[in-house]
Chain A
Amino acid sequence: MNFAIALYGVFFKPHYVKKVIALTILGDTVNTFAIFIGYRRWVDQTPSRIPVLTDLSSEGVEELRSLAVDPLPQALVLTAIVIGLAVILFLVFLGWILYSHYKTLDMREIRRLRG
């Protein structure tokens, strides 16, 4: 549902800033989804643990292996967040250029001015 709202915003909202906001919602939705995929079901009513070792011993490592959630999606999401941030940054600069050219960020207005 979130995904649908975000795609709808990217496609149909006429304002540039709203498009960018919809894009961030899209990215966050996908990231949350990836985190969910890495979750682990509770073993014997014991809650799953974050993938951080707190007991620096051989038993602690075994416990982490048997209880912790998947760290790989979290690492990938970390990468994705930073790249998404970079893209958003670039889009903001681009929007600023757009504004200084057309004095508006409304896509309908821009299309009218160009045509």
Chain B
Amino acid sequence: MDMANATESSNQVRVHELDEHRASLFKFALLQLRDEAQAEDAVQETLLAAMQGAEGFSGKSSVRTWLTGILKHKILDQLRKSSRERLPDVGYDEDCSDDFEASFDEHGSYVEKPAEWGSPDAALSQKKFFEVLERCMEGLPKNTARVFAMREIMGLDTHEICNETGISATNCGVLLYRARMALRLCLDQRWFGGNR
């Protein structure tokens, strides 16, 4: 418990070193929280926790990996906090235009057959691809993005998301569906379309 006893030299991570990661952590948090103040809080708490627990850093992973691990928990705390403050109809208030809806005709068939993406795994080794992915995520409506982050980044299951946010399982499924279809369309247009 007594952090003061941990001598500075025994800490493998130094304070100034932590601060170098601030901007990157902030961007990561903002993409998921969509709220600057909350993202700032999450990062602040992460750096604080890191400073207090620097000896918990094993040195096996990179500092960034270690910090991101802490940040994920802090983001989740923020998501919990804000969903408690929010009305339970959080799932409905989207100002969504749902572009992907236009991919279907009135019979529920694709207007244009979804295109082949070739071997998409190759994209995963390209830094540019992830920049495009981030831009696509930025395009999601706030609550859609939050629920999607809880599912795919925090790894919560839909039950847990329901409990955390107070939205119904059906609603949660709808938001995840919209997020995926919107991201699929966005990647198709902005990345894989370029290969055609």
Pair from one complex: no
| A binding-site residues for B, Cβ under 8 Å | none
